[in-house]
């Protein structure tokens, strides 16, 4: 799960990002409107945690930018205590949910997960693909009801594949989703092969099916067709 934290209060950014990293999220940070605007134009996120009161702009304007770019990123706005109008405006222009400051990090986590489920899994905790079942709450994968042991990256990779089944995923989009844009600058994206190869091998060994297809020159597709 890849999130962007847009917030100008540094201690708050740090506590959010430390907490979410422990929970296994990939976190990117924008400390002001301009940074956020450039991040959202270059990247996609499962969820954007968006502070409304930024020093150089109003967070609500970023929602408008996202929507005009036809972005599918989830949006959770952070609002000050008494700003009913921010909450209502935010939801009306396309935020998925809001959280009023101050909040508990565990509640933030629960809301991000709920947004993710609503947008990607039709509200379900479990996601199925033939004999493969993923419990996104326990982060556990089963093949024919037996546990499939995956590393964290393999798990994220499988979830990303199955959430985008039958669609070609470029190597770059996979790297961006799993490692963020720090790694995208690296010369070689070869390391992603290793993870895909290992995941593919584990699936073949446990299910006898090879769902990860290489689409020559483009990327990969998770499919049974």
Q: Which is nearer to Ca ion, 8 or 96 (CB)?
A: 8
Residues that bind Ca ion (CB under 5 A): 8, 51, 53
Q: Least Å distance between CB 14 and Ca ion? A: 14
Q: Least Å distance between CB 51 and Ca ion? A: 4
Q: Which two tokens stand for residue 56?
A: 């150089």
CB 23 within 8 A of CB 51: no
Give me Rg for the CA atoms of the chain.
18
Q: Which is nearer to Ca ion, 53 or 57 (CB)?
A: 53
Taking the C-alpha atoms of residue 165 and residue 184, their distance in angstroms, rounded to an integer, is 23
Give CA torsion, residues 131, 199, 117, 74, to 10 deg: -150
CB 34 within 8 A of CB 12: no
Q: Least Å distance between CB 9 and Ca ion? A: 6
Q: Which is nearer to Ca ion, 10 or 201 (CB)?
A: 10
Q: Which is nearer to Ca ion, 1 or 62 (CB)?
A: 62
Q: Least Å distance between CB 13 and Ca ion? A: 10
CB 23 within 8 A of CB 139: no
SS3 state of residue 27? strand
Q: Say how far residue 30 (Cα) sits from the centre of its chain.
A: 16
| Shortest-Cβ-distance residue relative to Ca ion | 53
Q: Which is nearer to Ca ion, 10 or 67 (CB)?
A: 10
Q: Least Å distance between CB 18 and Ca ion? A: 19
């Amino acid at each position: 799960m890849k999130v962007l934290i847009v917030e100008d209060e540094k201690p708050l950014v740090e506590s959010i990002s430390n907490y979410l990293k422990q929970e296994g999220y990939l976190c990117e940070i924008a400390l002001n409107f301009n940074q956020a605007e450039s991040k959202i134009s270059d990247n996609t996120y499962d969820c954007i945690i968006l502070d409304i009161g930024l020093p150089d702009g109003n967070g609500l304007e970023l929602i408008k930018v996202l929507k005009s770019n036809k972005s599918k990123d989830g949006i959770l706005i952070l609002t000050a205590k008494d700003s009913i109008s921010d909450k209502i405006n935010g939801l009306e222009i396309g935020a998925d949910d809001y959280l009023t400051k101050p909040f508990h990090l565990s509640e933030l986590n629960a809301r991000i997960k709920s947004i993710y489920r609503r947008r990607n899994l039709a509200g379900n905790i479990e996601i199925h693909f033939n004999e493969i079942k993923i419990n996104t709450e326990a982060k556990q994968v089963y093949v024919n009801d037996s546990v499939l042991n995956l590393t964290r990256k393999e798990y994220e990779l499988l979830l990303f594949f199955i959430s985008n089944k039958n669609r070609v995923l470029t190597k770059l989009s996979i790297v961006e989703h799993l490692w963020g844009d720090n790694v995208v600058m690296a010369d070689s994206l070869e390391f992603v092969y290793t993870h895909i190869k290992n995941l593919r091998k584990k699936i073949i060994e446990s299910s006898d099916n090879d769902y990860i297809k290489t689409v020559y020159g483009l990327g990969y597709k998770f499919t049974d067709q």
